[in-house]
């Protein structure tokens, strides 16, 4: 069965520092992987996705993620965090049964210190 | 496009009452998803439709929950009777198709409080 683990529930970084949010997945075939961001009181917005090709994918707002099959990971990175990046981040995996069904991780809350 | 529209944004009701949540997907999108978000369980898929037909309702918690999609531009999620443990944020999302690479666009959610 598909599953997603985000090991870090809460992360605090200083503005301008680099960021890496971890995501590990369990899936038998090549997964479809997504990162979504949720600002307080808002719905989820797609940051980036991977389903084939280059394993380093670029997304919106300066985010990128790297798919590493050997580690079953899809970590999200940003070289310099802005205060507006404070939000909750969700990793998700899809692809089972060729449906649009997604399995989400528990989320990581990012706090940005001034 | 206005995006996915959900109503109401907030709902406070008493235990035992019927609650109906509404969703208007993005025009042209063929797949619609209902999620529930709680602190304890995170984001869970309740049910999803493709071309107005329910495809997978395995996430619907129990018979008190029902969902319909009478046409391509409208869906409802109904809870009858409601219980305090149903308190959560309910999201509706839509995508172009059921193909797994399609992005899901989320609505702003309905925050439900059952007293």
CA dihedral B83, B84, B86, B91 (to 10 degrees): 130
Which tokens go with B57?
């309702």
Cβ-based burial of A103 (10 A; exposed 0-12, middle 13-18, buried ≥19): buried
A49 sits in which H/E element: strand A44-50
pLDDT of residue B74: 96
Measured between CB atoms, which of B56, B93, B101 is closest to A32? B101
In terms of Cβ atoms closer than 10 Å to its own Cβ (0-12, 13-18, 19+), residue A73 is middle
Q: Does B91 reach chain A within 8 Å, measured CB to CB?
A: yes
Residues of A in contact with B42 (CB under 8 A): 104-107
CB of B30 within 8 Å of any CB in chain A? no
Residue with tokens 């449906």: A99
pLDDT of residue B50: 92
Q: How much of chain A, in percent, has pLDDT values that exceed 70?
A: 95
Window 15-54 of A, Cβ < 8 Å to B: 32, 34, 36, 41-46, 49, 51
Prior bond of B42 cis (ω within 30°): no
Pairing of strands B110-114, B74-79: unpaired
Nearest-angstrom CA–CA distance, B26 and B18: 27
CB spacing of A100 vs B106 below 8 angstroms:
no
Can you read off the two tokens belonging to residue A52? 């084939």
Confidence (pLDDT) at A41: 83
Closest Cα of chain A to B41: distance in Å? 8
Which position has the higher pLDDT, B103 or A15? A15
Mean pLDDT to the nearest integer, A102-108: 92
B42, B48, B93 member nearest A106 (Cβ): B42
Rounded distance, CA B66 to CA A34, Å?
28
What φ, ψ does residue A44 adopt, rounded to 5°?
A: -85, 145
- On chain A, the residues whose CB falls within 8 A of the CB of B4 are 43
- B59 in A contact zone (CB under 8 Å): no
Report pLDDT for A52. 84
Q: Which chain A residues are within 8 Å of B97, Cβ to Cβ?
A: 100
- Residue-level pLDDT at B101: 77
Q: Are A79 and A64 in contact (CB under 8 A)?
A: no
pLDDT in tens, B73-97: 999 999 999 999 999 999 999 999 8
Among B82, B115, B78, which residue's Cα sits nearest to residue B16? B82
Read off the pLDDT of residues B3-28 as tens digits, 9 standing for 90 and up. Answer: 999 999 999 999 999 999 999 999 99
Q: Which of A1, A51, A100 to mutate to test the interface with B (most CBs of B within 10 A)?
A: A100
Q: How many beta carbons lie within 10 A of that of residue A81, not counting itself? A: 20
Closest CA to B67 of B57, B58, B59, B77: B77
């Amino acid at each position: 069965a598909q599953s997603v683990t985000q090991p870090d529930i809460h992360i605090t970084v200083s503005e301008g520092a680099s960021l890496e949010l971890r995501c590990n997945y369990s899936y038998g075939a090549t997964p479809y992987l997504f990162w979504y961001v949720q600002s307080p009181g808002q719905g989820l917005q797609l940051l980036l996705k991977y389903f084939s090709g280059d394993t380093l994918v670029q997304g919106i707002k300066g985010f990128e993620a790297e798919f590493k099959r050997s580690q079953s990971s899809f970590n999200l990175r940003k070289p310099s965090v802005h205060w507006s990046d404070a939000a909750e981040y969700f990793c998700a995996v899809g692809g089972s049964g060729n449906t649009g069904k997604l399995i989400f991780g528990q989320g990581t809350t990012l706090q940005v210190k001034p | 496009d206005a995006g996915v529209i959900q109503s109401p944004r907030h709902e406070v009701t008493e235990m035992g009452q019927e609650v109906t949540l509404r969703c208007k997907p993005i025009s042209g999108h063929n797949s619609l998803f209902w999620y529930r978000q709680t602190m304890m369980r995170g984001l869970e898929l309740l049910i999803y439709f493709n071309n107005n037909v329910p495809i997978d309702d395995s996430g619907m918690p129990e018979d008190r929950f029902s969902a319909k999609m009478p046409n391509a531009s409208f869906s409802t999620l109904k809870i009858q009777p409601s219980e305090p443990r149903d308190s959560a944020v309910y999201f509706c999302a839509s995508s172009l198709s059921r193909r797994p690479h399609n992005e899901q666009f989320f609505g702003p959610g309905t925050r439900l409080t059952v007293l």
